[in-house]
Structure 1
């Protein structure tokens, strides 16, 4: 049987979007990138309490718009109050922070590839800002980057029209499962004080859709960044067919 005939027969059993998901990504090599990591302390400062900035980011030679997107998202994670202004670049932020920071203040910013599959590159963003409080504030985020369209895929791009409420309904089921597995469902005070919420941090991973939560959103600081997982099987009729991972 010819490859063309085989592909045609396969597509009959699939939606157009799912067929595209099967045949396009397998022909793509992983998107090449380099790491750019640095740590710098305040000039003239010595000792263990010197302010520092640690940045660990990525550069994609074949996707320069992704570089700019990552930098912008990392910079947004440095905003600690309504009065903070966004620095024009990571280098400018580093210089500004070290110039004004007090002892023991620090910033950690990181971008890493979490997964790559089906023409999607999932970048996970992390931050940790310590400005002298009882503890620093960590942050997380995702970029779902479509290699074909060379842009970020938002939640609105992922969902079929009119299905946002259904998506968050599936997320609430995932939250209930997390409560049960964490043994919090039997604690009425916990359930009352930490109810389900929506999150902007959504990732289209290969095995499931992951929702990541900021600290203090649906759980105490000690729980860190809670991850809820929604199986793709629960998103039939909710997620656009082209965003379902290929199966073989």
Structure 2
């Protein structure tokens, strides 16, 4: 092949590469997020303590799969207070809840983007059901959505195969550090009553892997939702390397 032909082939390859780069998704840029919020009381109620529903959620115009998933996960947080047929939309949940909720009852649901980095969208979901007692019941959940894979990452997707036991042992070490930081390590009754356990609520945030707990899971209600944060260097060989911030 002549030098001219070689040069032409090289230029063509460079042009194709540039075109691919031009049209490839930019995972460093955050996706568009739109907020939607409303609060409604029970229709026709004029009392002081009317039942109410408060919704504060987010939408992703360019990620319809994630958009639908956020609504579905919020509805899952209401399963303990559903009355009748399970609703399929937040609007339907609101109608069903307000139709039967007594005075001094309220339901709060929130979805917010906690972080976006390296092609990941981390959504934190919150719920709070007030049944008129001394305090309401809160709930939490995370969605780790990979834009590159167009799916939600499970723990198995995050970990190198065979490393789940090591992962939870590392989280347990963070739990021991949390006990020390709160002074609870010196309370033998507390340590016995609230032992370490795994949690399904895991988030691949930029600064650390976060493991969050429901109230009453590893601590009393008054201590809220305990968060354990494990720095990525402690998870070398445990978390898939492409999920480390900056490596994707």
Task: Please report the TM-score for the alignment, with normalisation by the length of structure 2.
Answer: 0.87
Q: Deviations over 1:65-110 (max 9, x none)?
A: 1111000100000011698653111110000000000001100000
Q: Secondary structure at the match of 1:148?
A: coil
Are residue 67 (structure 1) and residue 67 (structure 2) matched?
yes
Shift of 1:247: 6.9
Q: Distance in 2 between matches of 1:73 and 1:219?
A: 25
Q: Which runs of 5+ in 1 are unaligned?
A: 1-23
Aligned to 2:114: 114
Are residue 47 (structure 1) and residue 47 (structure 2) matched?
yes
- Given that 1:115 and 1:205 are in contact with CA atoms closer than 8 Å, whether structure 2 keeps it comes out as yes
Q: Work out which structure has the larger RCO, using CA pairs closer than 8 Å and 6 or more positions apart in sequence.
A: 1
Shift of 1:148: 1.1
Question: What is the alpha-carbon root mean square deviation over aligned residues?
Answer: 1.9
Aligned to 1:203: 203
Q: Deviations over 1:176-215 (max 9, x none)?
A: 0100000000110100000001100000000100000000
Q: Secondary structure at the match of 1:128?
A: strand
- Given that 2:82 and 2:97 are in contact with CA atoms closer than 8 Å, whether structure 1 keeps it comes out as no
Distance 1:43 1:27, change over 3 A: closer
Q: Which runs of 5+ in 2 are unaligned?
A: 1-23
- Given that 2:28 and 2:117 are in contact with CA atoms closer than 8 Å, whether structure 1 keeps it comes out as no
Residues 2-21 of structure 1 aligned to structure 2 (within 5 Å): none
Q: Aligned pairs, how many?
A: 225
Distance 1:25 1:138, change over 3 A: farther
